Amino acid sequence: MDTEQPTAEIPTEPVILPRAEHTISRKQIDENSLKVLYRLRRHGYKAYLVGGGVRDLLLGRTPKDFDVGTDATPNQVKKLFRNCFLVGRRFRLAHIRFAGGSLIEVATFRRQATEEDRPEDPSLNPFYAENLFGTPRQDAFRRDFTINALFYDIEDFSIIDHVGGLRDLRDQRLRVIGDPLVRFAEDPVRMLRALEFVARLGFSLDETAREAIYLRSALIAEAAPARLREELMELFRHKVAGHVFANAQGLGLLEYIIPGYQAGPGTLALLDAIDRRTAAGQPVTESLVLAALYYEIFSAGLVAAGDLPIGEVLGRAAKLLIPHCLHFHIASGIRHQAAELLVGCYRLQRGPGRRGQQRFVRHPSFAAALAFYQLCCEAGQGDVELLSAWRQSLTETPKEAPRKRPRRRRRRRKPASSPSQS
């Protein structure tokens, strides 16, 4: 369907919510964003706060960042701000930098390309469709989800809704703008982002979007691995990885995000435990994520193999992780840290009192392995009594006294011979 044709879900005219009928105040908006908005307005351009910032403010949440939409072109924005840098070859954006590391992203309103816009030789301008400037309404219809297409007008402090986003916020529903089958084919990563927003906001997923994810899931394998890697880490930073992985697997999406991967129930429980840990204020690292994704598979393989030398266990861990790391271009250092977590859990699972325990306890990776094993226990993937025994053994393990450096003996200098002796 044409995404600019109104339907029963999309109003034919924009819904404008005046200042008296919404809760957004300028006091809630970043000071540097206001500077950008006001300067654009003073020079005769339209300037709106756009996207997730407006959504979060209406939901009573603190936005991660604030983005600005305008009818000024990127070059016109650059002329207004000395601290502006144009970025992006495919999609030109203006980045305005302020003291303290603050960055405000300014995007010019775009529109969908038509057949008339297509150049005779697209190879000479492969990104022509990404930089066709348009009206605010045309720009709203290019966005992904209705709740992300709301505008806050700095001129009269109203909320402008072209696509029914206000109604969907009220109904706590995530809905794609236009035909989900078409929009997911345009950018398959939108399928993963849809599941992320549902988990983060506690919304329901529109049934047409759910069906489209099921039908279009294989397309996400065409997305750049680097982009998918970052999107996956965002799930952990937002504390929704367990929820999203479960939904992605249920819809047949996960096996295309991570080629051939299936998350067992123990893995999903472990991801939930990591989300709870992150929500409690503990930072999440990629090595921890990597170890968690493969711990259940790793443990099952070792149970079948029986007691093995540590060197062979480390080799098995590395071999298990290598295909994932090669696909997502993950550095060998991160892979090694994840392998150490897996091997550390294997040693913990064998219990204290074994040969080499003191050396293991003093190893730099021990504390991280013990913390990871605690997460495994919370997820039902470890032995709580063993965890307690290891903690008890720490109080009983004598600390190795620091070695004293041997005192260096100074050599006596030979007395200089006197002139009379020469």
Sketch the domain layout of the chain as residue ranges. Answer: 1-172, 179-259, 286-396
Rounded CA gap, 17 and 117, in Å? 34
Burial class (CB within 10 angstroms; exposed 0-12, middle 13-18, buried 19+) of 348: buried
Instruction: With a cut of 70, list the residues of the chain below it in pLDDT.
Output: 1-11, 115-130, 303-306, 353-357, 396-422
Residue 422 has what pLDDT?
Answer: 42
The tokens describing 81, both together, are: 């701000």
Query: Who contacts 293 (Cβ-Cβ below 8 Å, separation ≥6)?
Result: 258, 261, 263, 267, 324
The CA-based angle 179-184-190, given to 5 degrees, is 120
CATH code of the region 179-259: 1.10.110.30
Residue 359 to residue 344: CA distance in whole angstroms: 12
Cβ 153 vs Cβ 48: under 8 Å: yes
Give the integer Cα–Cα distance in Å for 409 and 248.
Answer: 69
CA-to-CA distance for 237 and 281, rounded, in angstroms? 11
Q: What is the pTM of this model?
A: 0.85
**Positions marked catalytic:** 65, 67, 144
CATH class belonging to 1-172: alpha beta
d(CA 396, CA 393): 5
d(CA 329, CA 312): 25
Is the dihedral angle over the CA atoms 93, 97, 101, 106 positive or is it negative? negative
Q: Which residues of 187-225 are buried (b: 16+ CB within 10 A; e: fewer)?
A: ebbbbbbbbbbbbbbebebbeebbebbeebbebbeebeb
- pLDDT of res. 389: 85
Asked if the domains at 1-172 and 179-259 fall in one CATH topology, the answer is: no
